[in-house]
Amino acid sequence: MAAQRYGKKSEKRSSGKKKDDDDGNDSDSTPSAGSASESDSSKKPNTHRPVKKKQTRKPKSTLKEMIERMGIDVEKVVRELDEDKRFCEYCGHELIPFGEKHLRYELKVELPRLRVIEYVGVTYGCPDCHAKAADSDTPLSECGLSPVQAEAPKPLLPGSWASSSFLAMAIAFKILYQIPTNLLITMFREMGMFSVSSGTLCSWIISVSQVYFAPLFDRLPPRLKT
């Protein structure tokens, strides 16, 4: 069994088998006409250029959409006129409320929770003047009458919806604890706040320092300034 398995006879091949192998090698060595045409077509340069897609900028989300995305409860504060201002300037009749109007939003920080306060001003009108204008068929715009509305409290920074508590927390984290701006924004996002940009946050802090801290710095004696 060992001689039959490892002897010289085991290395010999039949002539029919060898002929089939030679035929197979010849067929592989001679390329067909179809393969040649395919190779020629693959060598041709691709002149087709991909069409560039028009890049559209994502629209900026509004303040109301950002507040809805945060999922924070909005506390509604109704602003009313003072009692001494609830009288008509023309006839002295007492004004009555007839509508409301959105004034502005303000973000307040009360650790460990956040609140969004919406200020709504009550609009007042004089029923006596309105009745007189209705009887005379004269529009209110021509009579010089205009509704009186309560005003919202002035923000800490004009045109900003950040409250004093929010800016105080941002200044404390950035200046006292030396937290970088990008890390501070990450902390705000983890707290569920809006994703304010670093430029906006830095401009708020600089504006607060220029408006409120610069006059205090000028009053300091020279030895403390140095």
Q: Provide the pLDDT for residue 78.
A: 92
Tokens 């209705």 found at = 134
Asked whether 166 and 177 are in contact (CB, 8 A), the reply is no
pLDDT, tens digit, 9 for 90 and up, residues 107-160: 887 765 677 888 899 888 887 777 777 777 666 555 556 778 888 888 888 888
Angle between helices 198-208 and 181-190 (to 10 degrees): 110
φ, ψ of residue 125 to 5 degrees: the values are -145, 155
At a CB cut-off of 8 Å and minimum separation 6, what does 182 contact? 198
77-107 residue pLDDT tens: 999 988 888 898 888 888 988 889 999 888 8
Dump pLDDT digits (tens) for 44-56.
555 666 677 777 7
Res 27 pLDDT > 50: no
Query: What predicted TM-score, i.e. pTM, was given to this entire model?
Result: 0.51
Separation of alpha carbons 190 and 196, rounded Å: 13
